[in-house]
Chain A
Amino acid sequence: MSALASLTRETTTAAGGRPPAKRRKRHLASYLLLGLIALVFLVPAYWMVLAAIKPNDEIYQWPFTPWPSEPTTENFSAALAAAPFDQFFMNSLLVTTVGATVKVALAALTAYAFAFLPFPGKKWLFLGVLGALMVPGHVTLLLNYSTISNLGLINTYAGIILPGLGSAFGTFLLRQHFMGLPKEVLEAAELDGAGHLRKLWSFVLPMSKPAVITVALIAVIDEWNDFIWPLLVTNTLDMRTMPIGLMFLKQSEGLDDWGMIMAATLMIVLPMLLLFLFAQKYIINGMAGAAVRR
């Protein structure tokens, strides 16, 4: 984690010893580049927001206007009228909260078991967990569709959530973290007569907060953005999640109403954007950290 903590630290350049004039020139260049990069990421976002609040005929007007003559919410109401985005939102919310919560709980329990409890052949089981990291999700679609069909769970929340619940990545990450915890604390807890579940809940988890939060945030982002699985497993409009709802809107209304589509897009993006703003330290450090550590 220490390498990552430094991410938020302001660093000075390696070129600290250069003459000031040269340095200023270089700084100017890097500001220009930074500005350029910012534009590359901001302009499409601006383009989206602009269309979402522009009256429809202004979107199709040439030459373009850089700002709506009168910002409007009509695109949002049009999107809501064309497709039940409130329902999509609830579906996404439910699938994301239930899916992510259960996933993290399962990962924590499994990681605890692997870190602190004995079991014959435990090493092999853990290798099995690691192996699952190498199974690409796309390869599992056909058979998981079949399995969910046979369980009678097509077009149900359980059907959307179930295949994603098993957590190999979270288990791996948390186990590594649990193993690094100071043994003394856990031994003291044991002397106090704490059961394993209490040890997990009151000692191990609080001491592993950053790791747990990272695993949870990644789970939330994955669930919310998941695309192909909900697309396959849901049939009816009222079971669609937000991303599938957006595709549905694009297909059913055609590409002839960009204002409405951009309004809907904005609705999908916003929750994750807010989450990202509030938890960016955990997300960036967690995701990059999970990467660097390997």
Chain B
Amino acid sequence: MQNNPLASTLEKSSSRRSFLGALGLTALAIPALAACGNSSTATFAQPATKVPAGFAGRRNVVIWSSWGGDNGKMFADLIKKFNESQTAIYAEVQQFDGYDGVGEKLTAGLRAKQVPDLAVLSDIHWNRYFLSDALEPLNKYHDSSFGPSVYTENFYKEGTVRDESYWVPFARSTPLFYYNRDLFASVGLPDRAPGTWDEFRSWGKEVTGVKFKGNTMKMRALTGADDWYFSGLLWAFGGAISNGLDVRLDSAESLAAVDFERQLVHEDKSMYLAQSFVNDFSNGQCATVTQSTGGLTSVTKAAKFEVGTGFMPKGPAGTGTPTGGGGLSVLRQISDERKADAVEVLRFLANDEISSQWTVGTGYLPVTKGATSSKLVTDLMDKNPNYQVAVDQLQIASGPDDVRRYVTSAISELKQMVQKNYTSNVKPEELVKPVAAKLRAEADKIRATYEEKVA
């Protein structure tokens, strides 16, 4: 039931399309007949824009973005620069509630035939729009200032399927281990991130319960809104969410990882689910968090203490660091002119200077070759070693498991599972088995499409 709905319905729709039509439902419940069959050639409307006086008369590009707060302001600044560099195009950023928010409104927008030109999609969201043919293949727009020659190779490759590019890297990141250096010093811990999860655990026992600046400390605040860090932990223990579409969530190694977190929360009581984990960290309520490199700049700014960072701790099976973050895709069901304009925005954002400004302003990793070696970025790394940590860690990071990418319900199922683990002391088998079974069933439903388009 919760299969990837975008993919499966496309296959089987034709045989039963008369059913609802016969019931007269076509008029109101489903899109007008004009769109049937050839959705790739139909052009969808652009959401309304509010163009400032100075930019009137230009063609508009609408970008649906996931960033609020500091990163949102940074992104708006870059787009402002784009508009000033242009004479024909005005780009407008429309902001949503995170990657999930963009995803929800984009699906609803495809339904309403009103879509943006560019969308910020996370590394585990774009795939489903690819499967439902909603993303424009980008190879035909490539030239010397936009394409594989420009982007960091690994990041570029992650956005391609069978050598065709659909998703351009932009705000890529890895999770980073953040710690409160002042607190570590006062407890007598070394000034570094723990090397292994075991070390993390024993440090956690020392930190937890300590009174520090009026607050009773815990080792780590957890977020229930993200299964990203968790997927890294699985790898560190030798487990995984899946191998291809084969679910491995209930393997012995994966269960060990789940049990490790369970013990820290419920036995050591050194970790807890927070209302706002980053907020608790920067206000000195807890000693450490794992959070995206993309939060580096804003966390450093908000914290009233020295922030230290390090690699994610290792597990019995070695490192487990997932890449994450977002990239940009051009929507397919829009006019060719809008597509070309959207590519202009991508080209601008891939510019060395702009790309490095974004990296410096946010903490996201440099995604172009030029930005990586730019003076702006190298200077920053010299000045603040935390940024260097983020870039170095990339060498050992890898992209998400396929079930997380392609099975639509995987994100919410995994989040729920993680939250449950953080909040109720349940045997790992009991916790994981039903989720694994569900994901297995869902994965099987999209296997045919997946084999046809991806594998």
Using a CB–CB cutoff of 8 Å, the interface residues on chain A facing chain B are 60, 62, 143, 145-150, 152, 154-156, 232, 235-239, 248, 251-256
Partner of B114, one of A155, A253, A256: A155
Contact B98 A150 (CB under 8 A): no
> With contacts A150-B28, A252-B72, A254-B69 known, is A235 near B279, CB below 8 A?
no
Which residues of B sit under 8 angstroms from A232, Cβ to Cβ?
Answer: 108
Contact A146 B28 (CB under 8 A): yes
In this complex, the member of B45, B112, B114 whose beta carbon has the largest number of chain A beta carbons within 10 angstroms is B112
Indicate if B94 sits at the interface (CB-CB under 8 A): yes
Taken residue by residue from 90 to 125, chain B's Cβ proximity to chain A (1 for < 8 Å, 0 otherwise) reads as: 000011011001000100110111100000000000
Indicate if B68 sits at the interface (CB-CB under 8 A): yes
Nearest chain A CB to B275's CB is how many angstroms away? 6
Contact A251 B101 (CB under 8 A): yes
Partner of A254, one of B50, B109, B279: B279
Which residue of the partner chain A has the closest CB to B50? A238
Contact A62 B275 (CB under 8 A): no
Which residues of A sit under 8 angstroms from B23, Cβ to Cβ?
Answer: none
A244 to B283, CA, bound (A): 27
Return 26 A-B CB contacts under 8 Å, by A number: A62-B214, A146-B29, A147-B28, A147-B29, A148-B112, A150-B27, A150-B28, A150-B32, A154-B114, A155-B48, A235-B105, A236-B48, A237-B95, A238-B48, A238-B50, A248-B95, A251-B98, A251-B101, A252-B68, A252-B97, A253-B68, A253-B69, A254-B68, A254-B279, A255-B275, A255-B279
Indicate if B282 sits at the interface (CB-CB under 8 A): yes
A235 to B62, CA, bound (A): 12
Given contacts A150-B28, A235-B94, 4 further A-B pairs with CB under 8 A are: A149-B31, A150-B32, A154-B114, A256-B282
Which residue of the partner chain B has the closest CB to A156? B48
Indicate if B145 sits at the interface (CB-CB under 8 A): no
Contact A256 B278 (CB under 8 A): yes
Contact B97 A248 (CB under 8 A): yes
A217 to B47, CA, bound (A): 33
Report the interface size for chain B: residues with CB under 8 A from the other chain: 34
A252 to B67, CA, bound (A): 7
Indicate if B9 sits at the interface (CB-CB under 8 A): no
Which residues of B sit under 8 angstroms from A254, Cβ to Cβ?
Answer: 68-69, 276, 278-279
Nearest chain A CB to B416's CB is how many angstroms away? 19
Contact A152 B275 (CB under 8 A): no
> With contacts A150-B28, A150-B31, A251-B101 known, is A237 near B302, CB below 8 A?
no
Which residue of the partner chain A has the closest CB to B32? A150
Indicate if B454 sits at the interface (CB-CB under 8 A): no
Nearest chain B CB to A182's CB is how many angstroms away? 44
Which residues of A sit under 8 angstroms from B441, Cβ to Cβ?
Answer: none
Which residues of A sit under 8 angstroms from B10, Cβ to Cβ?
Answer: none
Indicate if B426 sits at the interface (CB-CB under 8 A): no
Taken residue by residue from 365 to 407, chain B's Cβ proximity to chain A (1 for < 8 Å, 0 otherwise) reads as: 0000000000000000000000000000000000000000000
Contact A146 B30 (CB under 8 A): yes
Nearest chain B CB to A101's CB is how many angstroms away? 24
Which residues of A sit under 8 angstroms from B48, Cβ to Cβ?
Answer: 155-156, 236, 238-239
Which residue of the partner chain B has the closest CB to A255? B276
Nearest chain B CB to A141's CB is how many angstroms away? 12
Contact B113 A149 (CB under 8 A): yes
Which residues of B sit under 8 angstroms from A235, Cβ to Cβ?
Answer: 47, 94, 105, 108-109, 114
Partner of A143, one of B28, B101, B111: B28
Partner of A252, one of B27, B69, B282, B283: B69
Contact A155 B279 (CB under 8 A): no
Which residues of B sit under 8 angstroms from A156, Cβ to Cβ?
Answer: 48
Which residue of the partner chain B has the closest CB to A153? B112
Contact B112 A154 (CB under 8 A): yes
Nearest chain A CB to B384's CB is how many angstroms away? 22
Contact B279 A152 (CB under 8 A): no
Taken residue by residue from 42 to 84, chain B's Cβ proximity to chain A (1 for < 8 Å, 0 otherwise) reads as: 0001011010000000000000000011001000000000000
> With contacts A143-B29, A256-B302 known, is A149 near B111, CB below 8 A?
yes
Contact B28 A252 (CB under 8 A): no
> With contacts A150-B28, A252-B72, A256-B302 known, is A236 near B283, CB below 8 A?
no
Nearest chain A CB to B432's CB is how many angstroms away? 30
Nearest chain A CB to B110's CB is how many angstroms away? 10
Which residues of B sit under 8 angstroms from A148, Cβ to Cβ?
Answer: 112
Taken residue by residue from 18 to 50, chain B's Cβ proximity to chain A (1 for < 8 Å, 0 otherwise) reads as: 000000000111111000000000000101101
In this complex, the member of A145, A253, A256 whose beta carbon has the largest number of chain B beta carbons within 10 angstroms is A256
A132 to B27, CA, bound (A): 22
Which residues of B sit under 8 angstroms from A60, Cβ to Cβ?
Answer: 283
Nearest chain B CB to A200's CB is how many angstroms away? 32
Contact B112 A256 (CB under 8 A): no
Contact A256 B72 (CB under 8 A): no
Nearest chain B CB to A32's CB is how many angstroms away? 35
Contact B279 A256 (CB under 8 A): yes
Taken residue by residue from 200 to 243, chain B's Cβ proximity to chain A (1 for < 8 Å, 0 otherwise) reads as: 00000000000000110000000000000000000000000000
Which residue of the partner chain A has the closest CB to B114? A154
A79 to B214, CA, bound (A): 29
Which residue of the partner chain A has the closest CB to B106? A235
Partner of B108, one of A145, A150, A238, A248: A145
> With contacts A146-B29, A235-B105 known, is A251 near B94, CB below 8 A?
no
A239 to B95, CA, bound (A): 12
A155 to B95, CA, bound (A): 14
A157 to B442, CA, bound (A): 39
A227 to B132, CA, bound (A): 31
Contact B276 A256 (CB under 8 A): yes
Nearest chain B CB to A236's CB is how many angstroms away? 5
Nearest chain B CB to A80's CB is how many angstroms away? 14
Partner of B94, one of A143, A145, A236: A236
A143 to B31, CA, bound (A): 12
Nearest chain B CB to A79's CB is how many angstroms away? 13
Which residues of B sit under 8 angstroms from A146, Cβ to Cβ?
Answer: 28-30, 111
A154 to B44, CA, bound (A): 13
Partner of B68, one of A143, A147, A149, A251: A251
Nearest chain A CB to B24's CB is how many angstroms away? 13
A255 to B101, CA, bound (A): 17
Which residues of B sit under 8 angstroms from A147, Cβ to Cβ?
Answer: 28-29
Nearest chain B CB to A82's CB is how many angstroms away? 8
Which residue of the partner chain A has the closest CB to B26? A150
Which residue of the partner chain A has the closest CB to B68? A252
Nearest chain A CB to B452's CB is how many angstroms away? 29
Which residues of A sit under 8 angstroms from B105, Cβ to Cβ?
Answer: 235
Nearest 3 A/B pairs, CB to CB: A252-B68, A149-B112, A256-B279
